[in-house]
Structures are given as structure tokens and as C-alpha cells.
Amino acid sequence: MINFNYEIDFELANETVVSKWIEDVIFEEGYKLEEVNYVFCDDEYLHKLNVEFLNHDTLTDIISFDYTVGKIIQGDIFISVERVRDNAKDFNVSFQEELHRVIVHGILHYCGYKDKTDEDVHVMRSKENQYIALIKSI
């Protein structure tokens, strides 16, 4: 089950399409969905989590808490809509594309992908692009 929660005045326009897309990504990666909760928030909300749980005093676009066991995907993904909006401008892409990138980024972490080394980042970006193309075709 995919749940979308909103801590700010924001709402996905196409929750059903995005849910189906996320489920397809999980299936394509060889995993099974148990439950993923997305929480859309602002910078302040996410910054507090970053400091409290990760000891990082920085702004970020996403924090994910992974409760996956084996091949069963479970977790909470917090996304700062403010950061996504700013990053979309910085990367010269649409807000929607950047939002989709961040949404799938969290899922890819649950599927075992990392982004600590240059090689890991390359693989992660490739997977993100693959799945962003998939949602664009829906």
C-alpha cells in the first residue's frame, strides 16, 4: 500500500497514477510492496528530522526511513516540496520531473541502490532516468 500524507498546502494531482508507477518500479526491481508512506513537507519540517535523526544540520530534499525486510518493501519517505521546487530550477527541469525523481529515489534506496560513491550515483541516476521515462509514458 502506498500512502500520501501532506504536512503543507500541497497535494499530488495524480495519486493513483503515481501509486501504480511506484508499485511497477518495486515489481520491476524484484521486490514486493508492503507499505510505503510518503510525507510531503517543507524545509523546516525536514530539517528538524535531519538534525534529530541523522545529526545533519543541513537542508535536504528527501529523508527515507527504510524498514524493508528481505524483499518486502516498507518505509517512510519525507520529501521537502520547497527543496524539490528549488532543485528543479537549479537543474533546469520541471517541478514534476524533479518530484518524480525524488519519489523514485527513495524507493530505489529500499531496493538496495546507494549513492555514496561516484559509481553508485551513476547507477542511481540511470535507474531514476529509466523509471522517470516510464511514468512519462503512462
The phi and psi torsions of 36 (rounded to 5 degrees) equal -130, 130
Angle at 35 between CA 30 and CA 39, to 5 degrees: 120
Distances (CA, A) of 87 to 54, 80, 98, 112: 21, 11, 7, 24
Residue type, position 36, single letter: V
105 among annotated binding-site residues: yes
Q: Three-class SS of residue 109?
A: helix
Q: Are 76 and 82 in contact (CB under 8 A)?
A: no
**Would the annotation count 43 as a binding residue?**
no
| Residues in contact with 62: Cβ distance below 8 Å, sequence separation at least 6, in sequence order | 77, 78, 79, 80, 83, 102, 105, 106
Q: Does the annotation list 115 as a binding residue?
A: yes
Which residues belong to the annotated binding site?
A: 105, 109, 115
Which residues belong to the annotated binding site for Zn(2+)?
A: 105, 109, 115
